[in-house]
Amino acid sequence: MNADEPKRARRGRPRNPEADRAILRAALDLFIEGGVEGTSIEQIAKRAGVGKLTVYRRWNSKEALLAAAIESARDETPGTAPPNPDAPLEELVRQVLPGLAEAIANPRLRAMIARIFGASASHPELMATYWHDYVVPRRQTTRDLLRRAQSEGAVPPDADLEVLIDMMVGAVLFRLLQPEPLNPTRAQAYLESVYRRAGLLSNDT
């Protein structure tokens, strides 16, 4: 081949999105069932109905695959942003709470979070993925609501919003990890109590 001739790009076999979804789903299922130590690439490939080489072509380690699986589960959880940001504060909170209540009551999400917390010391990348994809967006939504509440006088102007968010998020995570699950109705009532004490809901609602 002449060195001056343009090299033709080599085109490999395109990735199959169905295989990707099957692998991610299998990885998440096995992680929820057995944690990091109870999950292997062999098990994931078998459950997904693909060969091990197919998995390794996409992810170079079990940890990288599990992080991707945790990230993919974000699509199964409700969004965090209120649909009408120009609505009154109480209405904004009411728009956000049903999705959060649904997430708290979801046994699959609860089990996933418990596994992530259990693996946080030995596999910090899994906690980092969960934090970035699940916690940070909800903290931002809560921060926006609290700033709105400050501007309207419902929250003191000198309140430390980051500490207040820590308290609210901490309360929700603590409730998620308790052995007795909540149904969506009880979860929403709990969230209303948390948001009311933070100044985002009035006492007469």
For the chain, domain boundaries: 17-73, 77-197
pTM, 2 dp: 0.80
108: pLDDT strictly greater than 60: yes
Q: Any idea what the Cα angle at residue 175 is, between residues 187 and 141, rounded to 5°?
A: 70
Of 3-17, 29-43, 96-110, the poorest mean pLDDT is in 3-17
Indicate the CATH number for domain 77-197.
1.10.357.10
Q: If we measure between CA atoms, which residue out of 176, 35, 160, 180 comes closest to residue 198?
A: 160
Q: What is the pLDDT of residue 9?
A: 39
CATH, domain 17-73, list 3.30.465.10, 3.30.450.40, 1.10.10.10, 1.10.10.60? 1.10.10.60
